[in-house]
Amino acid sequence: MKKLQQQLLDWFQENARELPWRKTYTPYHVWISEIMLQQTQMDRVVDYFNRWISRFPDLKSIAGACEQDVLKLWEGLGYYSRARNIIKSANILVAEYCGKLPADHNQLLKLPGIGKYTAGAIMSIAFNKEYPLVDANIERVFARLFNLAQPVKDKKTSAFIWRKAGDLLPYGKAREFNQALMELGALVCIAKNPRCKICPIKTDCQAFSFDLVAKRPVLNAPAKTIFIEMATGILEQNGRILIQKRKPKGVWANLWEFPGGRLEAGETPEMALVREYLEETELAVGNLKKITTVKHSYTIYRVTLHCYFCSLMDGRLEPVLHGAQEYRWVKPEELSDFALPAGHRKLVDHLQNEMGLFM
Ligand code: SF4
């Protein structure tokens, strides 16, 4: 075991990527990076991380921050509950922990948005304490290293992986060792065509020795993809555009959007848009002009968003909201100040970049 540990540590020392949070391992930096990395690829996270640290250089600067500022900074990363949980946790940490992340696994687990993985990451990477962590990279490495014949998410297999991740941790080297495992999964023991020839632990790898690498990890049946069609409309009146703020709970909570919604059975996008405007705002719209169709994905959903310009069909100008908490008439150039869901941001980008509007 010592040989495997040392091989991994040596490999990490030679091959670790330079990442902004690896400069000082400040607990605040490690925490923010780990939350961002939960659902997002490393190459995208680095830019977001740097922007975040410029705007919120320390934990105290987030406590009491305006949620819209935080969501705007998070725009494009998705899974916005992560950003909201950072604000909640920062407020707790300032109120109860003198504005610092505690070096205590149980206390970390009580903070919103921090589960077993993130608590293990903060304890080991920020504080160099002997706590394991298991992410998708480590699951894949262990499925091959120990030649696991069950899917890694199976209860018993998952418990085995966590136990092994703890057993393998060398004393005093948790920071480097946990990162070495994840880095190996990201750079060498990759999902397709792993680079076994240059792998520092190939002599210990059971799947490699049994020629089963291509069959590990064993995969679960893929989650069923759900296709959704939606319609949205940009309503302009006196040079201003109507946007509404989604309710504080549910998908895309507290983000701003153009009114619209899902197509019902038998509806065309145009019919759905007129109906949704009436249901959500009590505004009658018509004169629909197609702008574009935007496609985007989140979790298992594949969304097709039909986008239109529309006009008011009667004298009523002020909406009565049924699907949102607030509305505003904003100048087109002000749209960049609001955090929008991915599909609506793509629509604004299309208007600006493809049609030269809303600049
Ligand atoms: S030998 Fe290949 S399969 Fe085994 S851990 Fe290394 S890269 Fe992964």
Question: Which segment of 29-38, 60-69, 99-108, 189-198 scores lowest on mean pLDDT?
Answer: 60-69
Domain edges within the chain: 2-215, 226-353
Question: Which segment of 38-47, 48-57, 166-175, 178-187 scores lowest on mean pLDDT?
Answer: 38-47
CB of residue 201 inside a 6 A radius of ligand 1: yes
Q: Give the residue, by CA position, lying nearest to ligand 1 atom 4.
A: 205
Q: Give the model confidence (pLDDT) of 307-344 as tens digits.
A: 999 999 987 889 999 999 999 999 999 998 999 999 99
What is the SS3 assignment for 286? Answer: strand
Q: Give the residue, by CA position, lying nearest to ligand 1 atom 2.
A: 196
Report, at the CATH architecture level, how domain 226-353 is classified.
Answer: Alpha-Beta Complex (3.90)
pLDDT at 84 over 80: yes
Distance 176 CA to ligand 1 centre (A): 19
CB of residue 196 inside a 6 A radius of ligand 1: yes
What pLDDT, on the 0 to 100 scale, is given for residue 314?
A: 84
pLDDT at 98 over 90: yes
What pLDDT, on the 0 to 100 scale, is given for residue 359?
A: 66
The one-letter amino acid at 181:
L
DSSP 198-220: G-TTGGG-HHHHTT-GGG-SPPP
Atom of ligand 1 nearest to the CA of 202: 1
CB of residue 348 inside a 6 A radius of ligand 1: no
Question: Which segment of 38-42, 100-104, 111-115 scores lowest on mean pLDDT?
Answer: 38-42
What pLDDT, on the 0 to 100 scale, is given for residue 40?
A: 86
Distance 46 CA to ligand 1 centre (A): 27
What pTM was computed for the model? 0.82
Q: Give the residue, by CA position, lying nearest to ligand 1 atom 1.
A: 202
333 carries an active-site annotation: no
What is the C-alpha separation between 60 and 82, in angstroms, rounded? Answer: 18
What pLDDT, on the 0 to 100 scale, is given for residue 222?
A: 81
Alpha helix (H) residue ranges in the chain: 2-15, 27-37, 42-55, 59-62, 67-74, 81-96, 105-109, 116-121, 136-145, 155-167, 174-187, 206-209, 269-281, 342-353
- The single residue of 14, 34, 139, 280 carrying the catalytic annotation is 34
Average pLDDT, the chain: 94
Q: Give the model confidence (pLDDT) of 271-314 as tens digits.
A: 999 999 999 999 999 999 999 999 998 888 999 999 999 999 98
What pLDDT, on the 0 to 100 scale, is given for residue 190?
A: 97
What is the fold of 2-215?
Endonuclease III; domain 1 (1.10.340)
What pLDDT, on the 0 to 100 scale, is given for residue 250?
A: 84
CB 113 within 8 A of CB 186: no
Mean pLDDT of 1-27: 95
What is the C-alpha separation between 332 and 294, in angstroms, rounded? Answer: 19
Q: How confident is the model at residue 167 (pLDDT cuts 50, 70, 90)?
A: very high
CB of residue 148 inside a 6 A radius of ligand 1: no
What pLDDT, on the 0 to 100 scale, is given for residue 354?
A: 80
- Percent of the chain topping pLDDT 70: 99
What is the SS3 assignment for 236? Answer: strand
